[in-house]
């Protein structure tokens, strides 16, 4: 019998579920809203009930599964199977996750943080093409990341490996970051960071520009606006995009020189700008990467979109298949 | 019977050898001059003869060894057991290493590049304290490095992982590096880089300084002179040391945010400045590392000195013990 995997991608608004083969092929997908009321006390019971309901629907039993993997916000203790500090879930205090789910379902359960799980997804079935060495960054509300090196997800001594959003790219005059430092990549390459950079640069820009007009006019501006106007050849918007891509290329240079991965995969909302972004990042990357690294490490767009989470989460459960 | 390991640290002037226990305790040590004549054709035969001679001397046989590990300059193909481009050995063309040594001695042989092997040595028996996550940089004529993450030496897709000397620390106005890029760490933190930085900064410095006098006077200045004068409170020398430590702290920040190792170990000649260097690097590191990384990743001085190479090389041979 070919046993299956369950992947869960737990987010602040929805929890996504999938049943996959051990080859990473999705066979069933569903999602439920995340109920963050009562300090998030409903989340784990809702997950258990949803899986139970679906297994009944598909006429499947616990024995048909190798395991369940889950990606979650917050700080994960993988050995204990707990999460703390997932504020968008209202999980401020320590939450038991593994124990109640295994007790209720009788299927081995493991978890990791959401950026690591998305990195695993892209490495396994996405742009990483199953390479043993892949770095991943996601440019969304913040900038997250995950590192796979020599085939292992890298956690570091305290689980803070892959904090790519906090690579310093502006050491002397950077924007304040929520983490307490200044000049982190996240302050200039997240969706809000791109807009902050545009607002700051607009103060120095004197020429004609629709983007500058929108900013000066007090209009709501998004990172998508910045990229769309740059694509429409707005010179000021182009200079903002160039600066964002410089910062991304510099951070990719550091990742490349330290890890020499086969690919650095860029995902998240900001990466929707596509090749327009990628070509510019790659150009700066080539300036900052050691020549052998520039030749062998590719900068790539993420391929899996929203599915990276459930696929990567499911891949965690492959560890039970040994 | 407790089998032993042989470690070889092959350099441009000497080849160092050691016989070690599987716990990394050195039992015998010796060295021979490296004969780089005739395109380095004598090097492998000299290694074979030296080991044969010593095994006779110690009344030991091939069966008493798990394997031989070697660190070497140049670009290593670990699977093929070959080296190319080790210019300080005159090994410009592809050299067979593993095959002739195994044929002659009947002991399994493996090799890796010298910086990786030194990293393994410090991780196993030195400042890394056997942690699964250690980054190592050596500040010598150049700046080399090696990364151990999740217990594995990280090579990357083409063996260029750990090129710490080529992390860009001065993206906009950096010195030209031998690698072809500008602003690499090596251009400001190697022994020659420190002096180059001092010479450049001296052009802008107006006050009293023995270091500036020596430079203006055309005297030979070493990186040791720069650190010694800084320790003697020469203000200009202090400003040079501060800049070197800023660059090192920035690079350590990148290593920390990407890998969150338990320690970043700094070795090589420049690190002889000791705590005077370390405290300043650590100070900048704390500015550039994500708070959780700053709390959990330590900046440390290498402990093994010249022995890191043979110890780390021997540890490579532990892979035959499975």
The reply to whether B292 and B311 lie within a common domain is no
What residues make up the domain containing A21? 4-120+307-320
The reply to whether A142 and A69 lie within a common domain is no
Average pLDDT in the B83-106 region? 95
Is A29's pLDDT higher than 70? yes
This prediction's pTM:
0.96
Instruction: Give the domain CATH number at A42.
Output: 3.30.420.40
The reply to whether A193 and A213 lie within a common domain is yes
What would the pLDDT profile of B304-316 be if each residue is shown by its tens digit? 999 999 999 999 9
Q: How close, in Å, is residue B284 to chain A by CA atoms?
A: 10
Angstrom distance (rounded) from CA A126 to CA A116: 14
Q: B262, A133: Cβ pair inside 8 Å?
A: no
Is residue B125 domain-resident?
A: no
What would the pLDDT profile of A215-249 be if each residue is shown by its tens digit? 999 999 999 999 999 999 999 999 999 999 999 99
- Coil/strand/helix, residue A24: coil
Q: B152, A150: Cβ pair inside 8 Å?
A: yes
Residue whose tokens read 């050898």: B17
Q: Which of B152, B179, B250 sits opposite A290 (nearest CB)?
A: B179
Q: Quick one: pLDDT at residue B321?
A: 83
Q: Quick one: pLDDT at residue A207?
A: 92
Is A320's pLDDT higher than 80? yes
Contact list, A153 vs chain B (CB under 8 Å):
150
The reply to whether A147 and A257 lie within a common domain is yes
Average pLDDT in the B205-230 region? 96
Q: Quick one: pLDDT at residue A61?
A: 97
Is B278's pLDDT higher than 90? yes
- Domain count across chain B: 2
Q: Cβ distance A177 to A170 under 8 Å?
A: no
Contact list, B164 vs chain A (CB under 8 Å):
257-258
Average pLDDT in the B67-77 region? 96
Is A167's pLDDT higher than 80? yes
Q: A296, B255: Cβ pair inside 8 Å?
A: no
Is residue A19 domain-resident?
A: yes
Angstrom distance (rounded) from CA B83 to CA B93: 8
Residue whose tokens read 């002397």: A172
Angstrom distance (rounded) from CA B42 to CA B36: 7
What would the pLDDT profile of A125-159 be if each residue is shown by its tens digit? 999 999 999 999 999 999 999 999 999 999 999 99
The reply to whether B81 and B217 lie within a common domain is no
Contact list, B161 vs chain A (CB under 8 Å):
133, 149, 258-260
Average pLDDT in the A297-303 region? 98
Helical (H) or strand (E) element with B310: helix B308-316
The reply to whether B115 and B150 lie within a common domain is no
Average pLDDT in the B134-154 region? 96
Place B322 in a pLDDT band, splitting at 50, 70 and 90.
Answer: low
Query: What share of chain B has pLDDT > 70, as a percent?
Result: 99
Angstrom distance (rounded) from CA B80 to CA A201: 53
Q: How close, in Å, is residue A254 to chain B by CA atoms?
A: 6
What would the pLDDT profile of B27-62 be if each residue is shown by its tens digit? 999 999 999 999 999 999 999 999 999 999 999 999
Q: B254, A168: Cβ pair inside 8 Å?
A: yes
Q: Which of B161, B166, B250 sits opposite A168 (nearest CB)?
A: B250
Is residue B137 domain-resident?
A: yes
**How crowded is the C-beta side of B232, counted as CA atoms within 13 Å?**
10
Residue B185 CA to its chain's centroid (Å) = 14
With vertex at residue A260, the alpha carbon angle to CA B130 and CA A142, rounded to the nearest 5 degrees, is 90
- Largest Cα separation within chain B, whole Å, is 68
Q: Quick one: pLDDT at residue A321?
A: 84
User: Phi, psi (5° rounding) for residue B59?
Assistant: 60, 45
Q: Which of B133, B155, B290 sits opposite A157 (nearest CB)?
A: B133
Contact list, B160 vs chain A (CB under 8 Å):
257, 260, 290, 292-293, 296
Q: Cβ distance A149 to A259 under 8 Å?
A: yes
Is residue B126 domain-resident?
A: no
Q: Give the chain A residue whose CA is nearest to the CA of B247.
A: A171
Q: Which of A131, A160, A260 sits opposite B293 (nearest CB)?
A: A160
Choose from B123, B155, B156 for mutation: most chain A CBs within 10 A. Answer: B156
The reply to whether A282 and A152 lie within a common domain is yes
The reply to whether B143 and B255 lie within a common domain is yes
What would the pLDDT profile of A32-91 be if each residue is shown by its tens digit? 999 999 999 999 999 999 999 999 999 999 999 999 999 999 999 999 999 999 999 999
The reply to whether A65 and A214 lie within a common domain is no
What would the pLDDT profile of A263-287 be if each residue is shown by its tens digit? 999 999 999 999 999 999 999 999 9
What six digits make up the tokens of B209?
């300084």
pLDDT, mean over chain B: 96
Helical (H) or strand (E) element with A197: helix A191-202
pLDDT, mean over chain A: 96
- Extended beta strands in B48-180, E state: 65-72, 75-77, 82-84, 95-96, 109-113, 134-139, 143-149, 152-153
Is B270's pLDDT higher than 70? yes
- Coil/strand/helix, residue A158: coil
Angstrom distance (rounded) from CA A47 to CA A245: 39
Q: Quick one: pLDDT at residue A322?
A: 67
Order of strands across the sheet that contains B14-20: B26-33, B14-20, B4-10, B65-72, B109-113
ipTM score: 0.95
Q: Quick one: pLDDT at residue A307?
A: 96
């Amino acid at each position: 019998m070919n046993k299956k995997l369950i992947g869960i991608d737990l987010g602040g608004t929805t929890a996504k579920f999938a049943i996959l083969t051990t080859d990473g092929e999705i066979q069933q997908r569903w999602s439920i809203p995340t109920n963050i009321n009562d300090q998030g006390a409903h989340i784990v019971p809702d997950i258990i009930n949803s899986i139970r309901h679906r297994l009944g629907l598909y006429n499947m039993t616990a024995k048909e599964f190798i395991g369940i993997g889950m990606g979650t916000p917050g700080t994960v203790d993988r050995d204990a199977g707990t999460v703390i500090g997932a504020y968008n879930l209202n999980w401020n205090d320590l939450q038991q996750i593994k124990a109640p789910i295994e007790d209720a379902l009788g299927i081995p359960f493991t978890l990791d943080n959401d950026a690591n799980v998305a990195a695993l997804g892209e490495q396994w079935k996405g742009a990483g093409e199953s390479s043993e060495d892949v770095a991943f960054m996601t440019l969304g509300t913040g900038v997250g990341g995950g590192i796979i090196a020599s085939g292992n997800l890298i956690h570091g001594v305290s689980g803070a490996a892959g904090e790519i959003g906090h690579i310093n790219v502006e050491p002397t005059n950077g924007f304040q970051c929520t983490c307490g430092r200044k000049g982190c990549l996240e302050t200039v390459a997240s969706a809000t960071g791109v807009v902050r950079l545009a607002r700051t640069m607009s103060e120095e820009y004197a020429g004609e520009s629709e983007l500058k007009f929108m900013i000066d006019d007090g209009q709501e501006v998004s990172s998508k606006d910045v990229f769309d106007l740059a694509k429409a050849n707005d010179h000021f918007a182009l200079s903002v995009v160039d600066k964002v891509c410089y910062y991304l290329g510099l951070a990719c240079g550091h990742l490349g020189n330290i890890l020499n991965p086969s690919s650095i995969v860029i995902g998240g909302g900001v990466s929707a700008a596509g090749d327009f972004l990628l070509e510019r990042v790659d150009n700066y990357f080539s300036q900052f990467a050691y020549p052998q690294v520039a030749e062998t490490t590719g900068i790539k767009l993420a391929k899996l979109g929203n599915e990276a989470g459930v696929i990567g989460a499911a891949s965690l459960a492959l560890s039970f298949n040994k």
